[in-house]
Structure 1
Amino acid sequence: MRRALLRARAALRDAAKPLGDAAVGALTAGLLRTTRYFDPVKTANLFGRVSRFIGRRLREDRIGRANLTAAFPEKSPEEIEAILAGVWDNLGRFGAEFAHLDHIWQHDPDHPELSRIEIEPRTHELFAQLRLDNKPALIFAAHLGNWELPALAAVAHGLDAAILYRPPNIASADRAIERIRAVSMGTLIPAGRDAPLKLAEALQKGQHVAMLVDQYLTNGVDVTFFGRKTKANPMMARLLRQVECPIHGVRIIRLPGHRFRAELSEEVKPVRDASGQIDIQGTMQAITSVVEGWIREYPDQWLWLHRRWR
């Protein structure tokens, strides 16, 4: 009898899942469409407040607090809580800004004081170098500030970019999100089994391949991050073995007054083994160390809410 009940419950759950997914997808698409009708600044303020209120009551808040306490043992509990509140605020603002990705990039080199995006001269120089050197490149980013904007920065500087992204599990939500992303983000390559092949082909064609590199991967390579061992996705270093090219990091920092600063790092030199071949683990450690340096500057803008260490 118990087995029959369990089977019946499982069957009902499986039957209801498509309906639930459809509802979530419709809700996501509707929320994105609705958000676009409202002032982006006021909406970002509202979403930031709502995220702080709701987020502090979720399980992820405890994960974030534990991560921050381990990463910054020198900080007081009050400092940790202030950072964590900023993390939730940043996440809420990110959600509001996502709906306006197609017109959020506002940068006028002749009038930078009137621009929403601030770009320092050295970053302009590095982007120009990437555009004119007739080489492919690998560009990494992290879940810092607004992590959708680095792709817009590349395209705005004339780079032929191929962006690796992880689509939502729900197809209707994926379609709604992809329509927004596709406006000014270059070639979008969904994560999956054939993604490494497509990314390698993009490099071979001279494109600039970009991806986020700061999430835990069970089968990844060992790296040290904030003094603790974790796993990093080795895809970027493996691609470098196939097509040697420059590596740079890009980040978008949130500034006061609803502005951002775009920064492109100097070239990150890969690590090589005794035979001169790209060292996968060593190169991913070099990239991870750059990301750690970014986060130490702006800890309240990184996504501490996931289990980066396990």
Structure 2
Amino acid sequence: MREKIEYWLVKLFLGLAKIAPVSFVYIFFKMLAWLLYYLDSKRRKLTIANLSSAFPQMSKKEIEQLSKQVYVGLSKTVAEILLMFVDRFDIDNAVVNREETIEKLESLAKHSSKGIIAMTAHFSNWELLAHFLAKHGFPMLVIGREGNNKLIEDNITTPFRRKYGNDSAFKSKAMLSMVKRLKKGGNVGILIDQKVGKQNSVMVDFFGQKAGTTTSIAFLKQKLDPLVVPFFIARIDDGKYRIIIEEPIESEEALTSESVLETMTEQYNQVMESVIRKYPAQWFWMHNRWRR
């Protein structure tokens, strides 16, 4: 029963996004974010604790203001994802460095005979990033966690993510799927900023604390030598974004030692952290990344 209620609630939000003025959609989800901020004290306190730990130089007041910006930013992401779903959000017009990004994608394609791993995070509008890349010749096998609601996963989430040619694989079958895709010279997208179990992970530094991080990228880099390219999308205004494509990350370490997996994974975390520090309000801070 709960699964059906959640499904129809999402359908209701999609219906709202389809007929309501776009400005109203933004305002509605901003109000909803404010409501959740004050009602869900557990999540709010976790967000503030994470920010306080990551930015000890900030005052209590600054941290509180930043935590509110995190919630408002997420409300914009949710609003735009729904607008994207009902074709009321122009993803090409939203990217201010569109032509530059397309040129970089074309350049990467010329040097990707062993495939590309697009490393990213739950940062800003990560769904817009995946859509834009696929639409412009960079479709990916995107690795993610299977949703708790199968109705939503099968009828809404999966079709939406496949709209421009992306495929998806759940974590339980991810490694085999990634190996197959990379061996064909294809692209794989991995978000590495979520907490993981002890299996296939290492504890490495992230914002000054040890965080369990998947070794999938480092392992694949060792075995298949694909390009590991950090991709991010930063919000610069309502409905406007800049795509960030960093240089491929290489490691000069030997390919057999387990410590290399740790070194490489920490290197990936450092790149991700450097981007988040530039846009601190755009990362998903309400996640229990450090298992508090």
Please confirm whether the aligned pair reaches a TM-score higher than 0.5, indicating the same fold. yes
Query: What CA distance in whole angstroms lies between the structure 1 residues aligned with 2:4 and 2:255?
Result: 54
1:33 and 1:188, CA in 2 relative to 1: closer, same or farther beyond 3 A?
farther
Aligned to 1:179: 159
Rounded Cα–Cα distance in structure 2 between residues aligned with 1:207 and 1:41: 39
Task: Tell me the CA shift for residue 278 of structure 1.
Answer: 9.0
Instruction: Indicate if the aligned counterparts of 1:145 and 1:302 stay in contact, CA closer than 8 A.
Output: yes
The alpha carbon displacement at 1:122 in A equals 5.6
Q: Does 1:287 align with 2:272?
A: no
> Which residues of 2 match residues 77-88 of structure 1 at below 5 A?
77-88=60-71
2:118 partner amino acid: I
- Contact kept, 8 Å, 2:123 with 2:232, in 1: the verdict is yes
Q: How does 1:89-108 map to 2 (within 5 A)?
A: 89-102=72-85, 103=87, 104-107=89-92
| Residue 50 (structure 1) aligned to one of 16, 32, 42 | 32
- The aligned residue for residue 72 of structure 1 is 55
User: Greater CA radius of gyration, 1 or 2?
Assistant: 1
**Equivalent residues of 1:271, 1:279 under 8 A apart:** no
The answer to whether the Cα contact below 8 Å between 1:41 and 1:258 also exists between their aligned partners in 2 is no
What is the root-mean-square deviation in Å for CA atoms of aligned residues?
A: 2.2
Given candidates 230, 235, 251, the residue that maps to 1:270 is 251
2:18 alignment counterpart:
36
SS at match of 1:118: coil
| Aligned-residue offset at 1:277 | 8.7
Superposed, 1:211-230 pairs within 5 Å as: 211-219=190-198, 220-230=201-211
Q: Is the 8 A contact 1:163 1:185 kept in 2?
A: no
Once residues 41 and 162 of structure 1 are traced to their aligned partners in structure 2, the CA distance between those partners, rounded to angstroms, is 33
2: CA distance, partners of 1:128 / 1:86:
35
TM-score by length of 1: 0.84
Gaps of 5+ in 2: none
**Relative to structure 2, which stretch is displaced further, 66-75 or 131-140?**
131-140
1:216 and 1:231 in contact (8 A); partners too = yes
Equivalent AA in structure 2 for residue 183 of structure 1:
K
Gaps of 5+ in 1: 1-18, 108-114
**Pair 275,106 (structure 1): closer, same or farther in 2 beyond 3 Å:** closer
Contact 2:144 2:168 in 1 (8 A): yes
| TM-score, reference length from structure 2 | 0.89
Do the aligned partners of residues 218 and 277 (structure 1) sit closer, same or farther apart at CA in structure 2, a change above 3 Å counting?
closer
Q: CA deviation at 1:210?
A: 0.6
Q: What displacement does 1:78 show?
A: 1.5
Which of residues 270, 276, 279 in structure 2 aligns to 1:298? 279
SS at match of 2:7: helix
For 1:259-288, what per-residue CA distance to the aligned partner results, in whole angstroms no more than 9, with x for missing partners?
111111111113523758992111111110
Assess, with a 3 A threshold, how the Cα gap between structure 1 residues 231 and 105 changes in structure 2: closer, same or farther: farther
Pairing 1:151-162 to 2, within 5 Å after superposition: 151-162=130-141
Structure 2: how far apart are the matches of 1:153 and 1:202? 20
Q: Give the Cα–Cα distance (whole angstroms) in 2 for the partners of residues 22 and 101 of structure 1.
A: 23
Q: 3-state SS of the aligned residue for 1:211?
A: strand
Residue aligning to 1:116: 94
Whether the aligned pair in 2 keeps the contact of 1:255 and 1:261 (CA below 8 Å) is: yes
